[in-house]
Amino acid sequence: MARASLKVYLVAGELSGDILGAGLMRALRARHPDIEFRGIGGPDMIAEGIDSRFPLETLSVMGLVEVLKHLPRLIGVRRELRRDALAWQPDIMVGIDAPDFNLGLERQLREAGLATAHYVSPSVWAWRQGRVRGIARSVDAMLTFLPFEAAFYARHRVPVAFVGHPLADELPLENDRAAARAGLGLPAEAEVLALLPGSRANEIRFLGETFLAAAGRLCADRPDLRVLVPAATPGRRAELETLLDAHPELQGRLLLLDGQARAAMVAADAVLLASGTAALEAMLCHRPMLVAYRMAPLTHALAKRLVKTEWISLPNLIARETLVPELVQDAASPASIAARLADILDDAEGRATLEARFAEMHAGLQRDASRRAAEAIEALIERRPLPESVSPAVAVEASPGRPSR
């Protein structure tokens, strides 16, 4: 680099972004020991040396009503960050997730002459795809976790770098099912189902009873089956305990865990889960799964109109084929779920083949994401071509929703 000391403005909006930001800061400092950081960060980023102008919780507002209530304050924070960044004159500003807040700030700073990048793509490839035009005006590059995301941006001619997924870096390419079972007090030869109905109250509301009823049906037919249910929070545990009161057939067969979702997935022969990051984590644990999802009828009707992808689960979106069965809304009945899970549990050869495929996909995502993100940011500062960019020709074949040939 031409200059001795780089200045990078980082804005994270929640704890997951704080973890990503800290990894990025370490990777950049390894290349530039005198680098300076400023913006918004949480405890991990502060430990890495960021001068945080506001607490991380400043941007942690969820839900339409809550956002509207706090909108004047958020606009004031964005205005102050814009003023602060322009006065400090960093080499680049990087927004980390929090797209509703960060993309607007990135656009203002880019229009004022600063280089900008966004780390973690919003789900623009799935719904409201017209947002990509605004993203193109806001950033000099998008840094994506997943290859199909990079393909989408390349198809829309937005500069992009596929950096890999930090979760893939964190999880080992080989895992030990026997050790996971021993750690949970399970017999080594037991048949094990992990059941993850979600981390939000609404997910327990719409999926909890359905998942437990499906598990009850399976237990009736499979006397050796053990069921693991990781509760994401104490609140979710209490809700699940209430639901379990109506399922005496699961007594002695189901183990309710405090957290430990990853251990439960590694220990399992199959996983039943809601769509979302949990499906990616199950894939990275190399476990066959069934994705089932239910929601409010009006929400489902809107989603059918807005969502543009052929699949809802990340393993299928990454593979661009149906590796994971997906049951949505009325199709996600206890009987249907139990039947599909029985098929998975009865097919040992199919499970082994899928586990090997997931291991290959895991290796493709395990790319030292923080280092690659740092390399992309360096390239933007130096005005060099981005590493790991995707050509528009390739992007047409790899875009989500396009079946593979």
Calculate the CA dihedral of residues 170, 172, 176, 182 and round it to 10 degrees: -20
pLDDT at 338: 97
> Of 399, 404, 311, which is closest to residue 125 (Cα–Cα)?
399
Residue 226 has pLDDT above 90, yes or no: yes
pLDDT in tens, 162-197: 999 999 999 999 999 999 999 999 999 999 999 998
Domain count, the chain: 2
Using CA atoms, how far residue 232 sits from 62, 208, 228, 278, 400, in Å, is 18, 13, 13, 11, 29
Instruction: Kindly state whether residues 78 and 149 are assigned to the same domain.
Output: yes
Same domain, 332 and 377: no
Residue 258, in any domain of the structure: yes
Residues 208 and 136 in one domain: no
In a domain, 155, yes or no: yes
- Summary mean pLDDT of the chain: 88
Task: Give dist(CA 224, CA 240) in Å, integer.
Answer: 22
Q: pTM value?
A: 0.80
- 220 in a domain, yes or no? yes
Give Rg (Cα) of the chain.
Answer: 22
Query: Is there a single domain that holds both residue 142 and residue 235?
Result: no
Residue 346 is assigned to a structural domain of this protein: yes
CATH code for the domain of 119: 3.40.50.2000
Q: Which comes out higher in pLDDT, residue 43 or 59?
A: 43
Same domain, residue pair 201 and 144 = no
Q: Is there a single domain that holds both residue 117 and residue 74?
A: yes
Within-domain flag for 80: yes
Residues 39 and 116 placed together within one structural domain of the fold: yes
pLDDT digits (tens, 9 = 90+) for 69-125: 566 778 889 999 999 999 999 999 999 988 989 999 999 999 999 999 999 998 887
> For residue 405, is it within any domain?
no
Same-domain status, 325 and 376? no
How is residue 337 written in tokens?
Answer: 């779920």
302-340 pLDDT tens trace:
656 656 667 788 899 899 899 999 998 889 999 999 999
| pLDDT number for residue 200 | 75
Is 65 in the same domain as 13? yes
Phi-psi region of 193 (alpha: psi -120 to 50; beta: other; left: phi over 0): beta
Q: Is residue 172 part of a domain?
A: no
Q: Is the pLDDT of residue 4 over 80?
A: no
Asked if 350 and 214 sit in the same domain, the reply is yes
Residue-range definition of the domain harbouring residue 185: 177-365
Same structural domain for residues 390 and 338? no
Does residue 109 sit within a domain?
yes
Q: Domain check: are 152 and 24 in the same one?
A: yes
Going by pLDDT thresholds of 50, 70 and 90, the confidence category of residue 299 is low
